[in-house]
Each structure stands twice: as structure tokens, then as C-alpha cells.
Structure 1
Amino acid sequence: MYRFLLTPRWLGYLALTLVAAAVMVFLGNWQLDRYRARTAVNERIDAGATMSPAPLRDALPAPSGGPGGTGPAPVERVTWTKVTATGRYDTANVVLVRGRTVDNEVGFEVLTPLVLADGTAVLVDRGWIPVAPGAGATAQPSVPAVPAGDVTVTGRVVPSENGGTVGRRDGKLETRRISVTRIAKQLPYPVAGGYVLLDEQTPAADPAFRAVPIGHTNNWQNFGYVVQWWIFAAMSLVGYGWVARREARRLANLDGPRQPLDRAAEPAPATPA
């Protein structure tokens, strides 16, 4: 009954179905890996909110080399964890990061290098400032002055972003992306490979700064894709079986036994005159 499945055409259908199902399972597994990675990020964000801060060097090793160099990027397990460091802000190299949105309002994030006792520095994201009322989205805001003398900061370790160019406008460095390696090339000292998103500061930060919110990743979207791809894979196999069964029934009807003729319905032979 199912011997037709061994014909070249149906073997081709089977091969195509198996390949499609395998691709869908692979895509589901890939989304599962992304779900697990994003879940780990969310767990680190939540843990960082309550953990005691660790010394900066536990998460961001000291950079080696001369001015403009950067240290190694933070390993995944320390991103979004809380650290603390003490140093002096470099007011001559404030970095404005334009086009950043908080509560649907466009403004600037303000990064300032914190120069440590060993002569290296770490970029500190001091917070967000809106553009001046009536000014354009690229108009530089008035940046509050930094405290004089030693400053102790506590914040989250954030990995460098990719892309963006860094230039100087009106005496301040400006960029669209927080690319630590590109910003470091504009600075006269080596810089840590990640930056610190400020939570607390001693002396206290200026109230003009608004805290940059830390958003959780949408890991459940990836989990939904996992279920979707695996269901599609199962549907492709079930669909092949359904089509094969329908074809088997069609062939069975074509090859079934013929019904005998009804003799009573046949015309009587003609009687000779």
C-alpha cells in the first residue's frame, strides 16, 4: 500500500521534509541558546542591584601600554555587577554621548574619565541630561561641574559598545556610541576595557543628572521563537505523513476490485423472426 514511498519522487519529498525539519530544529536550538544567554544577563542585572560592590580591578583589569590603549574587555560573568573605585575626574576630557533616550526624551549621557592612583583611568557614565528646551537634539547641554579632589564611585560594569566616531566639538568629546577603544584614543592615558554606569558617588552627584535606566533583555521573546520553530518542525513531519496517507488511499481506490456486472440489467438477445 505504501510502496510508492520508495519511488524517486516520494524519496525526494521525504529528503526535503527532513532537511526542512532539521533546519527548523537548529533554529529553535539557536534561539534556546539566546534565551539562556539573555536570562543570564537578567540574572546578573538583578544580582547587581543588591550585591556589595567589589573593587574595580576584580572586574576590569588594569590596562597595559601607553596613552590611548585599553585593557581587556570585561568577561561575561562580571558584566552588570557592581564595583567601586576612587580617583579624580578629568574635566578636560568630558565625553558627551548624543541621541540617548530616557523616558522617550532625547538627551546626552555624560562620560567622564576617572583617573586612578596608578595613572590609568576608567570611563564613568555619570548620568543623562536632556537637551535645553527649544534647542535641537544635537545642541550640547550644560554639564554640571565635577567634584574637586578625590571621588569614590559605585556602579555597574558595562561592556563597550561597537561603532561610532569620536570628535571634539566646543571643547568636549562627542560620540554616538560608547566605544571604549575609540574614546581611549583621544585620551592621554590608558583606559579600562569597559565602563562604569554610576549608581552612587561620594561626594554626591549633581541632581541635574538623571540615572540611566538598566533595561532587562526580552528573553521570553526568544523562548517564544524556540517553541515556534520546534512546532514548525513537527508540523512538517506530520504534514508529510498526512499527504502520504492521502496518496495511499487514493491509490487503493484506483486499484480496488471491480464490481461485477448486473446480468439482469443487460439487454435480452434479439429473437430471430
Structure 2
Amino acid sequence: MYRFLLTPRWLGYLALALAAAAVMVLLGNWQLHRYHARTEVNERIDAGARMAPVPLADALAAPTGGPGTAGPAPAEKVTWSRVTATGRYDTGNLVLVRGRTVDDGVGFEVLTPLVLADGTAVLVDRGWIPPAPGGAVARPDVPATPTGEVTVVGRVHPSEDGGTVDRRDGQLETRRIDVPRLARELPYPVRGAYLLLDEQTPAADPTFRAVPIGHTNNWQNFGYVWQWWIFAVMTLIGYGWAARREARDRAGLDRPGQPVDRAAEPATGTPA
């Protein structure tokens, strides 16, 4: 009944179904890997919010190059951890990061180098401020930067990719916080990541709004895992359904029966 499955046409259907199912299983496995990776990021974010801050040097290695260079990127295990550092803000090299969104408002993040005792610096994202009246790209009025010694507590944020840096009227501006690219504009070596400010002594200006750290949407990846695996199973079920239907058609099991001629049937029953 199922010998037709050994014909070239049906063997081709089988190979196609198996190949498609295998690809879908691999895609599901890849999404599962993404789910685990994003879950680890979320766990580090949550752990960082609870931990006591550690010295900056424990998380970010000092750069070994000269001025205009960036140090090594942080290890994954220390990203989003809380660190503390003490130094002096370099107000002459403040960076405006434009086009940044907080609570649906588009404005600027203010990035300021904190120069440390060893002569290196770490970029500190002091927070978000709205643009000046006139539009989302209107340069804001930046609150005064503290002078003298400053102690900060912040989260280790990895460098963003793809940034370009412009100077407008002597002011550094960018859309992406690309630490190595920004380091080229600065007169000292810079640590390989930047800090999202949590606390500052002396206290930060209340105009600044803390930049939130959003969790990754790991459950979306988990949903894709099941989606691809279910598609793989449905592909094999579809092949089996098509094969069964072909077998029944060949056996004539699904052909309509011959109509019964009721007039030709003998009469039954006793006459009155």
C-alpha cells in the first residue's frame, strides 16, 4: 500500500521534509542559545542593582596606551556591575550624546570624562536632560559640572559600536557612545567602558534623570524556540498526512460508493 514512497518523487518529498525540519530545529536551537545568553545579561543587571560597589580597577583594567587610546573592554561577567571611582571631571571635554530616549522623551545624555589619580580617565554618563526649546536636536543647557574632587558610583556599560564624533562650536557630540572612537578626541588614555551614574558626591544636579537599564526581551527568544520546533514537527506530520492520503487514493478507499437503485429492490412487507 505504501510502496509508492520508494519512488523518486516521494523520496524527494521525504528529503525535502527532513531537510526543512532539520533547519527549523537548528533555528530553534539558535534561539535557545540566544535565550540563555539574554537571560544571563538580565541576571547580571539584577545582580548589579543589589551589589555593593567595588573599586573601578577591579572591573576595568587601566589602559596601557598613550593619550587618545582606550583600554581593553570589560569581561562579560563585570558588565552592569556597580563600581566606584574618585577623580576630577574634565569640563573642557564634555560630550553631548544626542537622540537618546528616556520615558518617550528624546533628548541628550551628558558624558563627562572623570580624570583619575593615575592620569587615565573613565567616561561617566551623568544622566539625561531634555533639549532646549526648539526641537529634539536643540542643544540643551547643561547643568554646571562639579569642580574639585568627585566620587561616583555607577554601572559598567560596554562601549557602543558605530559611533561618529563631531565638534560643533568646540563641543563634542555623538549619537553612540563608542569609547575607542571618543578616546581619540581626548588628551589622556581612557578605560574601555563607560559608567552609568547611580550616585555622586557632591550630589548631581536634579535636572539630570538617571538613564534606565532595560532588560533584554529573552522571553521573545523562548517563544521563537517553540515556534521553530513546532514548525519542524508540523512539517513531518504534513508529509505523513500527504503520504496517507496518497495511499488511500491508490487503494480506492476514498472513492464514493456506487449509488443504490431503490426502485430495483424487491418489495418487502405483507400486503394489506
* Structure 2: distance between partners of 1:77 and 1:179: 20
* Structure 1: distance between partners of 2:197 and 2:163: 22
How far did 1:170 drift? 2.5
* Structure 2: distance between partners of 1:155 and 1:118: 19
Aligned to 1:82: 82
Aligned to 1:21: 21
| Structure 2 residue 152 is matched with structure 1 residue 159 | no
Number of aligned residue pairs? 256
Runs (5+) with no aligned partner, structure 1: 260-264, 266-273
How far did 1:26 drift? 0.7
Counterpart residue type for residue 88 of structure 1:
R
Q: Secondary structure at the match of 2:229?
A: helix
| Structure 2 residue 196 is matched with structure 1 residue 197 | yes
Q: Secondary structure at the match of 2:166?
A: strand
* Structure 1: distance between partners of 2:249 and 2:163: 64
Counterpart residue type for residue 159 of structure 1:
P
Aligned to 2:70: 70
Counterpart residue type for residue 229 of structure 1:
W
Q: Secondary structure at the match of 2:156?
A: strand
Q: Secondary structure at the match of 1:249?
A: helix
* Structure 2: distance between partners of 1:41 and 1:208: 30
| Structure 2 residue 49 is matched with structure 1 residue 40 | no
* Structure 2: distance between partners of 1:75 and 1:12: 49
* Structure 2: distance between partners of 1:31 and 1:21: 15
How far did 1:139 drift? 1.4
How far did 1:136 drift? 2.1
* Structure 2: distance between partners of 1:25 and 1:76: 28
Aligned to 1:55: 55
How far did 1:78 drift? 0.9
* Structure 2: distance between partners of 1:195 and 1:71: 11
Aligned to 1:2: 2
TM-score, length-scaled by structure 2 = 0.91
Aligned to 2:246: 247
Counterpart residue type for residue 2 of structure 1:
Y
Counterpart residue type for residue 201 of structure 2:
T
How far did 1:232 drift? 0.1
Which runs of structure 1 show a deviation greater than 4 angstroms over 4 or more consecutive aligned residues?
A: none
TM-score, length-scaled by structure 1 = 0.91
1:67-125 C-alpha deviation (Å, 9 max, x unpaired) = 11111111111111111111111000000000001111111000000111110111000
* Structure 1: distance between partners of 2:58 and 2:10: 61
| Structure 2 residue 137 is matched with structure 1 residue 141 | no
Aligned to 1:268: none
Q: % of aligned pairs identical? A: 79
* Structure 2: distance between partners of 1:194 and 1:170: 27
* Structure 2: distance between partners of 1:26 and 1:58: 39
Q: Secondary structure at the match of 2:145?
A: coil
* Structure 1: distance between partners of 2:173 and 2:87: 23
Alignment of 1:103-142 (within 5 A): 103-133=103-133, 135-142=134-141
How far did 1:158 drift? 0.4
Runs (5+) with no aligned partner, structure 2: 259-263, 265-272
* Structure 2: distance between partners of 1:95 and 1:108: 10
Alignment of 1:180-219 (within 5 A): 180-219=179-218
Counterpart residue type for residue 43 of structure 1:
E
Query: CA RMSD, aligned part only?
Result: 1.5
